[in-house]
């Protein structure tokens, strides 16, 4: 066995149906007397209800990809209203804004996810400014506590649940490729993929197991370095404003195929978790079975932006098992754009 270093995540996890009832107690445990409850406009009513429950102030203005100008407005609101903590309710957009505020204020965070995004378990923040999405890691970004309540997923649209679940699986897949991975990360990754792959086709009946899998996959993302998949998705989402979960769902089999010959052990674990012989085929079959989108052209990607995306992706690459080759990345993007089979070359 190779030497490794593993640092357990510091985030406290509360899991179970009905556990949102403990939000006020958890907020007080974190020292919040006047928290700001962050959500998207779509969840404004739930945001107001939770704000009343925790004795805080509702702020339902989070948007996709965490634009810096939106964060700056939120921080100004924080300073003007005596806010002393952040409670984020929702998916990646709400969690992202909460993290961005915490980075600038060092406030404690309580996150209550309503999707399978997984970002609540990481010290990673992706921010968008000037058409570019940049990421950073910082201890101030890591939420102090998370409440996972499957009851909150009952109104999650099936289509979004499927893409959100594939987004979570992507975290685990990359954890198996990670240059700083270790046996603990690999165990969490394989179990997270297994749980989600089994739960997603069940729809609402699979919410508990899917949320459990998303927690594990998010923990993997919080414990290991990102690679090609996340690099491409950050480029596509940040530069072309594509929807986050759908982008991850489409890119996943293509990025996995790109690394297939360079990471055989990871491929074996992915295949085993999916209960198939081939990891790439298994990911493609799962995506097809749950009705996830397969083509970037169908979620708003302009074809004339593929060259720009390839250029950005190779200009500052993340560590990856296979070196990032511009021509091969351009082919990958072409196939993902048109919904073609993944290229393993």
pLDDT digits 0-9 by tens, 112-153: 999 998 999 999 999 999 888 888 999 999 999 999 999 999
Predicted confidence at residue 156, as pLDDT, reads 86
- How crowded is residue 330: how many other Cβ atoms within 10 Å of its Cβ? 17
pLDDT band for position 261 (cuts 50, 70, 90): very high
Query: DSSP letters of 92-118?
Result: HHHHHHHHHHHHHH---EEEEESSS--
Q: Which pLDDT tens digit goes with each residue over 212-237? A: 999 999 999 999 999 999 999 989 98
Is the Cβ–Cβ distance between 12 and 144 less than 8 Å?
Answer: yes
Biggest alpha carbon distance in the chain? 57
Residue 318 pLDDT exceeds 90: no
Domains and CATH numbers, the chain: 12-153 (3.40.50.1970), 158-338 (1.20.1090.10)
Average pLDDT of every residue of the chain: 95
The secondary structure of residue 17, as a DSSP letter, is T
Provide the H-helix boundaries in the chain: 23-29, 44-54, 68-80, 92-105, 158-177, 183-199, 207-223, 228-240, 244-258, 264-274, 279-289, 306-315, 326-338
> In this predicted structure, what is the pLDDT of residue 80?
96
Task: Say whether pLDDT at 6 is over 90.
Answer: no
pLDDT on residue 317:
84
pLDDT digit string, tens, across residues 204-217:
999 999 999 999 99
> SS3 sequence, 209-272?
HHHHHHHHHHHHHHHCCCCHHHHHHHHHHHHHCCCHHHHHHHHHHHHHHHCHHHCHHHHHHHHH
pTM to 2 decimals?
0.94
pLDDT of residue 5: 86
Reference 116, options 75, 168, 151; nearest CA is 168
Mean pLDDT confidence for 318-326: 93
Instruction: Provide φ and ψ at 113, rounded to 5°.
Output: -75, 145
Give the integer Cα–Cα distance in Å for 213 and 342: 25
């Amino acid at each position: 066995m190779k030497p490794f270093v593993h640092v357990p995540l510091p985030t406290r996890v509360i899991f179970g149906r009905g556990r949102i009832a403990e939000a006020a107690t958890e907020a007080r445990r974190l020292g919040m007397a006047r928290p700001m409850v962050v959500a998207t406009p779509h969840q404004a009513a739930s945001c107001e209800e939770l704000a009343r429950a925790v004795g805080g102030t509702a702020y339902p203005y989070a948007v996709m990809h965490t634009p810096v100008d939106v964060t700056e407005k939120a921080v100004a609101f924080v300073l003007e209203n005596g806010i002393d903590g952040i409670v984020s309710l929702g998916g990646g957009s709400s969690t992202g804004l909460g993290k961005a505020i915490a980075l600038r204020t060092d406030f404690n965070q309580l996150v209550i996810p309503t999707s399978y995004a997984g970002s609540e378990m990481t010290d990673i923040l992706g921010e968008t400014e000037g058409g570019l999405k940049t990421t950073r890691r910082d201890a101030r970004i890591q939420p102090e506590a998370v409440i996972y309540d499957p009851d909150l997923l009952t109104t999650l649209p099936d289509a979004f649940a499927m893409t959100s679940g594939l987004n979570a699986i992507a975290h685990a897949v990359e954890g198996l490729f990670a240059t700083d991975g270790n046996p603990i990360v690999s165990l969490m990754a394989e179990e997270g993929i297994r749980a989600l792959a089994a739960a997603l086709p069940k729809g609402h009946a699979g919410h508990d197991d899917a949320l459990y899998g998303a927690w594990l996959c998010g923990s993997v993302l919080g414990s290991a370095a990102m690679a090609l998949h996340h690099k491409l998705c950050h480029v596509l989402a940040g530069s072309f404003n594509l929807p986050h979960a759908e982008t991850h769902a489409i890119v996943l089999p293509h990025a996995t195929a790109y690394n297939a010959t360079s990471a055989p052990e990871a491929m074996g674990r992915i295949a085993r978790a999916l209960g198939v012989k081939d990891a790439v085929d298994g990911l493609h079959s799962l995506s097809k079975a749950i009705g996830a989108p397969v083509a970037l052209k169908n979620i708003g990607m302009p074809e004339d932006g593929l060259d720009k995306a390839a250029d950005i992706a190779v200009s500052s690459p993340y560590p990856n098992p296979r070196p990032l080759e511009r021509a091969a990345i351009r082919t990958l993007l072409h196939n993902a754009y048109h919904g073609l089979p993944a290229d393993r070359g």
